[in-house]
């Protein structure tokens, strides 16, 4: 008989009372999942797949609420005002990137004061400008980042004399872009500009040339050209490369033949919104978004700004941020199928932590997703897709504490071999092992008994194994004493204190995460002292120090199970390294006996016994069910869990069998409404 551990029944304020009519379902109550907000990982993956971006804006979002072992439990996830600020900022960042190629990069300006920054072939400074008193050039060398379109400007005036006005030329690389009359006679003169297309960047010269000096000393007539400053602006035609997501969203744009602005905007929104909201959209919904487009156009926004405003609304809409599942009658508790598009999202967020792809959307659209055979085929297809790596990051990352490795603080004085390099190696090893367990069709019981692992040079050093060549990772048999995932250096470091091991934490982890039998918290007022030396002053091993755990019957009720399991791992110190003696210098005894009469000689022995323990598959089912549905199982799910477990075992404990069984189960494919609470909230 299965007991669903310490998980409370979610009755949601009021729930069903004895006076409610008993529904007559065709299937057992499949439960329901509360409106489910995308968590950080899901948001990042979704925008990656929707917009083909490499930005990860959710890294700045507040951390997700955590419950029942995972950060994707719908009932627990909340939205704060801070979230909305972050969602809006994120939408702006994503749209900035998407539209980066539609606005030219602002052109750099280089400015040169003539009296101090130009080199002249003739003339002199008058303090604020350069006086070219005979034909000559004032110029300088510029360094340009690239070829392109440039604008050369100069502020000029002249002393006039004779019949002609003073003439000046604007020069680039010695060639005149234009030659003009300069009628102004005093500062500040006037601005003269010319444009040029340069074929390449690098060094160029720019300047001004006085063309028609006139000097009649007897009549006292002198024509001179004054140059105040010269400026080069550009390149003015540079744009960033078009990002890959642009073509996916902008199915038409001003460059398309027969472009009509409002029609194209509508076409874009009609194509993008169903993908973003993961369901077909109505004309009215598109009309509403077009209203925002029109509002922007009416307030002098250009076409891109108009479309952008509507796209922004799509990205901060509740239809994007939540996985919406509608019931025909929201308060009716009669079970009914989850609609195909919502079902597609359930599958993709379970297996990929992301939105459905086109193939899965197509199955939802043509109605075939409700066929169990099609659903099963999709699960197999999606597990083989690289996006299934999300299961390693998010399911294994939390369930098997891979993420916890990043939060460990070993003390480098106690453990001088510890480094960030080693942390990275430990984490990578755990991820590779998790990948193998989940995605390579082997038995998940290998978690206990697998006898080889992946090592690179860093890890090989820590485990005392031969290092593979270069940066590569290689499969290597485990050294004596280690077995499966339980003895990975990363896990044992995460389950230690900075200066010593913690058998209690390690035992508790195995009990809670693998046997689904988390021990109760300690009673109030418990004396947590323990003594490093015994009564004669001799040092005690950690096991003897913890004697009070077993001497006192109140403590023993939990510790008699936790401690022996934890002590089986005592050969691995606070950073997961093998040792024969403990920190006190005393030899380690890793054997133990459990209250049910079983005993083991060491961790390998214990691991073998655990692999055969009938509670293990059931616990794997419970944990994966919680992650897959976004809710913990309740007593109403017992039959479904039994069926899933049977399929899992029949499938040789492969994750693919477990995943398929969950997806095909009634709780996954059906839902109920929720009666209104009977008392005021």
Partner 1 sequence: MNRTVRPSRRQFLRGAAGALPLPWLPSLLPRSAWGATLAPPQRLLFFYVPCGLQPEEFVPDRLGAGYDLKQITAPLVDVQADVSVLSGLVQGAGYDNRPGDHARGTGCFLTATTVKFTAGSDIENGISVDQVAAQAVGSATLLPSLQLGIDEGGTTGDCDSGYSCAYARNISWAGPSTPMPNVIDPTVAFNRLFAGTDLNLDADEVARRTLLRTSVLDHVAAQATALSGKMAYSDRLKLDEYLTGVRDLELKIEQLANQVCLPGESPPIDDDYAIRVQAMCDLMALAYSCDLTRFITFMLGNGGSNRSYGHIGVAGAHHELSHHQGDPAKLADLYAIGNWEVAQFAYLVGKLRDLTDADGSRVIDNSLLYFSSEIEDGNSHSHTGIPVLLAGGGGGAHTPGRHLDFGETAPMADLFLAMLDAVGVNPGTFGEDGTAPLAGLR
Q: Does 413 bind partner 1 (CB under 8 A)?
A: yes
Residue choice 18, 143, 300, 580 for contact with partner 1 (CB under 8 A): 300
Tokens of 633: 């199982």
Q: Which is nearer to partner 1, 142 or 390 (CB)?
A: 390
* Spatial separation of the C-alpha atoms in residues 2 and 487, rounded to whole Å: 29
Q: Which is nearer to partner 1, 95 or 114 (CB)?
A: 95
Q: Does 403 bind partner 1 (CB under 8 A)?
A: yes
Three-state DSSP state, 396: helix
- State the burial class of residue 294 (Cβ atoms within 10 Å of its Cβ: 0-12, 13-18, 19+): middle
Query: Which range in 74-82, 119-127, 244-252, 263-271 contacts partner 1 by CB under 8 A?
Result: 74-82
Q: Does 442 bind partner 1 (CB under 8 A)?
A: no
* Spatial separation of the C-alpha atoms in residues 428 and 408, rounded to whole Å: 15
Q: Which is nearer to partner 1, 173 or 534 (CB)?
A: 534
Query: What's the min distance (Å) between Cβ of 152 and partner 1?
Result: 26
Q: Does 398 bind partner 1 (CB under 8 A)?
A: yes
Query: What's the min distance (Å) between Cβ of 289 and partner 1?
Result: 8
Residue choice 411, 544, 589, 605 for contact with partner 1 (CB under 8 A): 411
Q: Which is nearer to partner 1, 35 or 380 (CB)?
A: 35
* Spatial separation of the C-alpha atoms in residues 20 and 494, rounded to whole Å: 48
Q: Which is nearer to partner 1, 156 or 495 (CB)?
A: 495
Query: What's the min distance (Å) between Cβ of 596 and partner 1?
Result: 25
Residue 264 half-sphere exposure toward CB, CA atoms < 13 A: 18
Three-state DSSP state, 13: coil
Residue choice 5, 25, 69, 651 for contact with partner 1 (CB under 8 A): 69
Q: Which is nearer to partner 1, 180 or 391 (CB)?
A: 391
Please list every residue from 638 through 677 that binds partner 1, using CB under 8 A: 673-677
Q: Does 272 bind partner 1 (CB under 8 A)?
A: no
Residue choice 218, 528, 536, 580 for contact with partner 1 (CB under 8 A): 528
Please list every residue from 484 through 503 that binds partner 1, using CB under 8 A: 494, 497-499
Residue choice 20, 23, 80, 141 for contact with partner 1 (CB under 8 A): 80
Query: What's the min distance (Å) between Cβ of 174 and partner 1?
Result: 38
Contact 667, 640 (CB under 8 A): yes
Q: Which is nearer to partner 1, 32 or 155 (CB)?
A: 32
> For the range 385-391, what are the long-range contacts, defined as Cβ-Cβ under 8 Å and sequence gap of 24 or more?
385/352, 385/357, 387/45, 387/49, 387/351, 387/352, 387/354, 388/351, 388/352, 388/438, 388/439, 389/435, 389/439, 390/41, 390/45, 390/351, 390/352, 390/353, 390/354, 391/351, 391/353, 391/438, 391/439, 391/655
Nearest to 391 by CA among 623, 92, 77: 623
Tokens of 667: 């709780």
Query: Which range in 407-415, 463-471, 581-589, 622-630 contacts partner 1 by CB under 8 A?
Result: 407-415
Tokens of 500: 């010593």
Q: Does 67 bind partner 1 (CB under 8 A)?
A: yes
Q: Does 407 bind partner 1 (CB under 8 A)?
A: yes
Please list every residue from 196 through 255 that binds partner 1, using CB under 8 A: none
Please list every residue from 301 through 320 that binds partner 1, using CB under 8 A: 301, 309, 312-313, 316-319
Contact 211, 179 (CB under 8 A): yes
**DSSP code at position 450:** -
Query: Which range in 65-73, 191-199, 218-226, 437-445 contacts partner 1 by CB under 8 A?
Result: 65-73
Q: Does 96 bind partner 1 (CB under 8 A)?
A: no
Tokens of 327: 């019931």
* Spatial separation of the C-alpha atoms in residues 207 and 374, rounded to whole Å: 73
Query: What's the min distance (Å) between Cβ of 513 and partner 1?
Result: 9
Q: Does 299 bind partner 1 (CB under 8 A)?
A: yes
Q: Which is nearer to partner 1, 384 or 412 (CB)?
A: 412
Query: What's the min distance (Å) between Cβ of 45 and partner 1?
Result: 17
Q: Does 76 bind partner 1 (CB under 8 A)?
A: yes
Q: Is the peptide bond before 188 cis (omega within 30 degrees of 0)?
A: yes
Q: Which is nearer to partner 1, 65 or 222 (CB)?
A: 65
Query: What's the min distance (Å) between Cβ of 551 and partner 1?
Result: 18
Please list every residue from 318 through 357 that binds partner 1, using CB under 8 A: 318-319, 321-322, 324, 326-327, 330-331
Please list every residue from 2 through 31 that binds partner 1, using CB under 8 A: 8, 10, 12-14
Count the residues of the shown chain that bind partner 1, applying the rule CB under 8 A.
Answer: 84
User: In angstroms, what CA-CA distances link 60 with 44, 57, 89?
Assistant: 11, 6, 10
What beta strand segments (E) does 32-187 contain?
36-37, 109-113, 119-120, 124-125, 130-132, 136-144, 148-159, 166-172, 175-182
Contacts of 569 (CB under 8 A, 6+ apart): 486, 487, 492, 501, 503, 506, 590, 603
Q: Could you tell me if residue 484 is left (phi over 0), alpha (psi between -120 and 50 degrees) or otherwise beta?
A: left
Give ∠ CA 126-129-130 in degrees, rounded to 5.
80
Q: Does 297 bind partner 1 (CB under 8 A)?
A: no
Please list every residue from 174 through 193 that binds partner 1, using CB under 8 A: none
């Amino acid at each position: 008989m299965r007991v669903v551990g310490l998980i409370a029944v979610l009755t949601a304020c009021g729930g069903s009372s004895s006076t409610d009519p008993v529904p007559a379902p065709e299937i057992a109550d499949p439960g329901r999942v509360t409106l489910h907000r995308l968590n950080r990982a899901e948001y990042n993956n979704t925008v990656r797949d929707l917009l083909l971006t490499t930005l990860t804006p959710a890294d700045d979002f507040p951390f997700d609420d955590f419950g029942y072992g995972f950060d994707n439990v719908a009932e627990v996830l909340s939205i704060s005002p801070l979230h909305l600020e972050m969602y809006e900022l994120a939408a702006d960042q994503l749209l900035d990137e998407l539209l980066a190629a539609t606005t030219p990069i602002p052109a750099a300006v280089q400015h040169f004061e003539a009296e101090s920054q130009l080199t002249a072939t003739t003339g002199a400074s008058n303090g604020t400008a350069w006086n070219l008193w005979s034909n000559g050039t004032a110029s300088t060398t510029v360094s340009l980042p690239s070829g392109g379109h440039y604008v050369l400007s100069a502020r000029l005036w002249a002393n006039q004399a004779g019949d002609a006005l003073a003439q000046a030329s604007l020069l680039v690389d010695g060639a005149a872009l234009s030659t003009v009359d300069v009628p102004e006679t005093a500062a500040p003169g006037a601005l003269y500009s010319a444009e040029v297309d340069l074929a390449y960047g690098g060094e160029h010269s720019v300047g001004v040339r006085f063309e028609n000096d006139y000097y009649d000393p007897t009549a006292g007539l002198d024509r001179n050209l004054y140059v105040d400053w010269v400026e080069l602006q550009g390149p003015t035609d540079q744009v960033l490369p078009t990002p890959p997501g642009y073509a996916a969203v902008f199915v038409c744009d001003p460059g398309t033949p027969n472009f009509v602005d409002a029609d194209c905007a509508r076409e874009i929104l009609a194509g993008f919104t169903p993908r973003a909201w993961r369901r077909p959209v109505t004309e009215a919904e598109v009309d509403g978004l077009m209203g925002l487009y029109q509002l922007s156009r009416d307030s002098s926004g250009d076409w891109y700004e108009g479309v952008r405003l509507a796209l922004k609304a799509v990205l901060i809409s509740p239809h994007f941020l939540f996985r919406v599942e509608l019931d025909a009658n929201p308060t009716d508790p009669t079970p009914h199928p989850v609609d195909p598009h919502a079902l597609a999202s359930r599958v993709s967020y379970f297996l990929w932590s992301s939105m459905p792809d086109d193939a899965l959307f197509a199955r939802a659209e043509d109605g075939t997703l409700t066929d169990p055979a099609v659903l099963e085929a999709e699960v197999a297809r999606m597990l083989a897709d690289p996006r299934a790596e999300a299961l390693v990051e998010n399911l294994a990352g939390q369930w098997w504490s891979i993420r916890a490795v990043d939060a460990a603080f070993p003390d480098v004085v106690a453990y001088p071999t510890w480094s960030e390099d080693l942390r990275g190696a430990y984490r990578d090893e755990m991820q590779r092992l998790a990948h193998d367990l989940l995605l390579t069709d082997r038995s998940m019981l290998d978690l206990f008994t697998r006898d080889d692992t992946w090592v690179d040079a860093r890890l090989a050093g820590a485990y005392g194994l031969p290092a593979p060549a270069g940066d590569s990772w290689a499969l290597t048999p485990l050294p004596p004493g280690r077995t499966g995932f339980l003895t990975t250096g990363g896990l044992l470091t995460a389950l230690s204190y900075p200066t010593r091991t913690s058998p209690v934490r390690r035992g508790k982890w195995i009990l809670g995460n693998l046997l689904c039998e988390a021990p109760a918290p300690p009673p109030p007022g418990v004396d947590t002292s323990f003594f490093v030396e015994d009564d004669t002053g001799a040092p005690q091993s950690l096991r003897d120090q913890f004697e009070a755990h077993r001497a006192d019957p109140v403590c023993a009720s939990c510790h008699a199970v936790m401690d022996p399991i934890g002590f089986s791992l005592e050969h691995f110190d606070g950073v997961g390294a093998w040792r024969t003696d403990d920190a006190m210098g005393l030899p380690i005894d890793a054997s133990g006996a459990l209250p049910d009469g079983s005993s083991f000689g060491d961790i390998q022995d214990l691991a073998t016994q655990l692999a055969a323990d009938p509670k293990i598959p059931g616990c794997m089912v419970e944990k994966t069910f919680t992650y897959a549905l976004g809710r913990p199982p309740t007593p109403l799910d017992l039959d479904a869990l039994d069926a899933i477990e049977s399929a899992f075992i029949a499938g040789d404990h492969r994750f693919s069998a477990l995943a398929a069984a969950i997806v095909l189960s009634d709780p996954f494919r059906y839902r109920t409404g929720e009666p209104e609470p009977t008392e005021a909230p």
